[in-house]
Amino acid sequence: MTSLRVGIAGLGTVGAGVVRLLQDNAELIAMRAGMPVLVTAVSARDRGLDRGVSLAGLRWHDDARALASDADVDVVVELIGGAEGLAKSLVELSIAAGKPVVTANKALLAIHGTALAQAAEESGVVLGFEAAVAGGIPVIKALREGLAGNRISRVAGILNGTCNYILTVMRVEGKDFAEVLADAQALGYAEADPSFDVDGVDAAHKLAILAALVFGRKVDFEAVHVEGIRRINALDISFAEELGYRIKLLGIAQEAEAGVEMRVHPAMVPKAALLASVDGVFNAVLAQGDFVGQVFLQGRGAGAGPTASAVVADLIDIARGSNIPVWGAAGGLLSASPAVPISQHHGAYFLRLMVVDQPGVLADVTAILRDHGVSLESMLQHGRKPGEAVPIVLVTHETNEAAIEKAIARIAMLEAVLETPALIRIEPS
Of 206, 218, 385, 406, which residue is the catalytic one? 206
Three-class DSSP category at 44: coil
User: Buried (b) or exposed (e) across 2-28, using 16+ Cβ within 10 A?
Assistant: eebbbbbbbbeebbbbbbbbbeeeeee
What b/e readout covers 293-308, taking b as 16+ CB neighbours within 10 angstroms?
Answer: eebebbbbbbbbebbb
Question: What value, to the nearest 5°, has the Cα angle with vertex 413 and ends 412 and 416?
Answer: 80
Is 289:151 a contact under the CB 8 Å cutoff?
yes
- Residues 222, 259, 278, 422, CA torsion sign: positive
Asked if residue 179 lies in contact with residue 136, where contact means CB atoms within 8 angstroms, the answer is: no
Residue 141 annotated among the catalytic residues of the structure: no
C-alpha to C-alpha distances, 321 to 7, 15, 23, 54, 315, nearest whole angstrom: 18, 23, 22, 28, 10
Q: Do residues 132 and 224 touch, judged by C-beta distance below 8 A?
A: no
CA distances from 267 to 14, 164, 229 (A): 30, 12, 10
Q: How far apart are the first and last CA of the chain?
A: 48
How far is it, in rounded angstroms, from Cα 60 to Cα 52? 17
| DSSP, res 397 | P
Q: What is the DSSP string of 200-239?
A: SHHHHHHHHHHHHHHHTB---GGG-EE--STT--HHHHHH
Which contiguous run of DSSP H or E holds residue 384? none
Exposed, middle or buried, 167 (CB in 10 Å: 0-12/13-18/19+)? buried
Which residues are the active-site residues? Answer: 206
